[in-house]
Structure formats: C-alpha cells, structure tokens
Structure 1
C-alpha cells in the first residue's frame, strides 16, 4: 500500500517523516436497502392525492412514516458500522433500527386503516411489517463492546472521548464539502484516518487517555474550526495561498497524530516487556 512521505519539496518542508497509511473509514454494507425502503413511500404518497381528504391525510402519514423509517434505519446502520469498527464502544443510546421497524409497522397499519379493513388486519400488518424490517436490517447493538473486565469508569471516559473526537472529524468532513474541491475532501479524509488510528490505540490501552486528551479535544476542535473558516473563505475566493496554508496545517496535524500513535504503541510494548520480565522472575522464584 502507498505511503506518503514528507520531503524537501513536500508541504511542511521535509520535517515530516513517513506517515502510516490511515485506516479506512467504517463501511456501511447494504445501505442501498434503505433506499428501496424510502422508495416504497411513494406507494402511499402518489395515490393519496387522488382520494378524499381522509385518505389523503392518512396516505401522507403512511408515506411520511416510511420516509422516517428509512432515515432512522440508515442512521442506525451508520452507527452500527462505527460501533463494529471500534475496540471499545458503548451501545447506541437510541436504537434507530428498532425505531425504524416500529415506524414501518405503523405505516402499514395506517395503510390497513385506509383500506377500511377493521382493526385486526392493520395490527397484523404492523406486526408483520415490523418483523420483516428487523429480519432485513437486524437489531441495533444491544450491549457495550470491549468493556468486560476493565475499569468501567476508565473505559467510559475513553468511549466518550472517542465519540467527541469522531464528532469533530465528522464536522470537518461536512465543512470541507462547502469548498467544492474533491482533492481537499480526500485530504481531510486522509487526516481523519490518521486520527482514527490514534483513537484505536487509545481504545487498546485506556491508560493513554490522559496523555492523549488534548489531541482528541483541543487539537481536533481547532482543526474543525480552521476547516469551517477555510471552507467558507475558499468557496468564495478560491484563494491559493489560503489553500496551501490549510494543507500545510493538515500535514502538520497528520504528522503529529501519527507520531503520537507510534509513541503510544512503543510505550505499550515496553510496558508489556516489563510485565513479562516480572512474571518470568516470579516463576523462577516459585521453582
């Protein structure tokens, strides 16, 4: 895989060493299925405008519930992908996919009411629709991940810090879209990957959180604010000088995060070697 090297003619003037290839952002498998679910809303929306006021309102309600179900389900899939990508993660506070199943069932129940099929059939439609939704998309993560046998307070602090860091990265990637420049979007995505490498390292050893907190909060918050200001300025002026300064900032941040990740990994290996040596000495004494 390719590596990006700093050098004499690279941004940053050669102060940067090699930067490890960043981990890929979490991929959401089967996202297209939520698009299919969204399109089914038109089965209720189009006929609604050819019927009476009651049917129209109920049709709009059913279609709106399907749209809501598709949106909730997609957000739940994104949250689940992020959950699966982390070593330490708390279960989602709000079960979006389950809520999407409820919205789907409610939409089908309203469809039964539109057809004047009494009370029993709409309830059956709701149960079957919700069950099929859960069968197609599954449930949200229902338990915390990677926190068994570890200090709950410390792992909770790490999970919260990583969530805040992810929020800053997400804000950066949203803001740079306003610059309307694909290469800048890729550049920010590359930095986000390097930052996530530090996240994964801290999750592997929660004891590193104190030393890394400023990277997850102060540095990322500053990078977010700089990205917002740059994107708004560049979208209006296409200022090449501002772009060069911004890319240099990303290079400096990327190098700093990569070096910190390497330092933490080195410290973790040193701690492991010490623990093994102590254990060996104890075993020798027992003999």
Structure 2
C-alpha cells in the first residue's frame, strides 16, 4: 500500500495576457496616439493618463493573484488593501477625465466614470473582504491520521476476509488477532504525527508482505502442499506481528516515550490478541 502525504496545490500565477487583463490593455492604444498628435500639453496629458492606467492594471492584476491564492487556501486572511476595487476605481476616474473633454456639465462624465467602475468590478470581481477560517491545524492532522488508519484497517480486513474464505477457523482467528494487534499498535503510536510519519514505510512493507503471504497460501490451498503452506503461513503471521512490534518499540523511543509506556501499550495489545484468539 502506498501512502502519500496530502499536498495542497498552489495556484499558478497568471500573466496579464492569461488573466484577461490583456484585453483591457487594448484600451490604452487611443492614449498612445495622443503622444504623437496635438501640442505638447496633449502629449503630457496622455503620459499622465497612461501612468494612471498602468497603475490601475497593475493593481487589478495583483489583486486577482491574491484572490486566487485566497480561494485555493483552506484558511486565509482577507487582503488589507482591496487592490481590484481600487484599480477599478482608477479606471472609472480615467473614464471620467476623458469624458470631461466632451461634455459641458459634470453629470454625464461622472455617470460614465461610475459606469466604468462598475464594469471593472463586474469583469474582475471584488476583493475578499473577510477572513476564511479552515479546520484547526491539530484537528486537521487528526482527521488525516484517522483517514490513513481507516485505509490501513480496510486493507487488512480485505486480507483477513480472503483467509476466512478458505474455511479454516484457526487461520481466521490468527489473522483476526494479527489485525487487532496491528491496529491497536498503530492507534497507540499515531497519537504523535511525527511518529506516525515514521511508520509509513514499515506499514507499507507490512501490507505488501501480508498480501504476498495470502497469495501463496491461497495458491497452494487446493494442492497437495496445503498443510505445509498452512504451517508456513501461521509462522509468517507470527513473524510479521513480532517485527511490527519491534518497529513500534523503535518508534516509541524515537518520539521520546520511555520503555514503560511502550511496554504498557504492547501488553494491552497482547491482551486484545488473546481475547480475539
């Protein structure tokens, strides 16, 4: 069984052309024409307008990247500066200034500026305004550990069911006792996330060996080699249980537990094994 650490995908940052802002940049071309037409005052005004436009585009682009990271995270804080909203407001201001040259009253340019702001918000969205709280770190670690234990238990249960299908009561009892002991040890040691991570490879190795032994037993069950395969399987179950117990001792020592605590856990699981058997 292969266990992998759940990973959290990081949002890919998109460039201006990939995020749709490239279409907005096309609106700057009329301003570029002002640099080459009219008196120097017009060119100076065009430079100011282009600078304002560049700041707005930069704010919207950065705000979109922050919003994407916010959406991908399980828990995140809202940005202090609503960059997309400010960028849209600057676009509205730019529209109002450009429209002011074509109308006598201020009402129409102001309305067009508000419309430009609204279209910017509609096109690029609003900034996150509230913090997003995910599951607490400790609770999340416990949930992932329990999910891993459930998968291991399901894998061993499948192996035990394969043995039980052979109709041998002694083999079934020994396999069930092994399952109970292994899961008891795992539950005891998995209270520490660091120790649980150290046991990933031993657990994967244990499941692999158990699967191979089951396959050998099942293949030989309907042959003349049944009795020898049965004795070998019982011996291998004992060896697997003892090897896993030894690995638990090492894991307990690595996480700083004294020998008494480890022996107490092992004694408890032996009592469970005897009750099952």
Do the structures match in fold with TM over 0.5? no
* Higher alpha-carbon Rg: 2
Normalising by the smaller structure, the TM-score range is 0.3 to 0.5
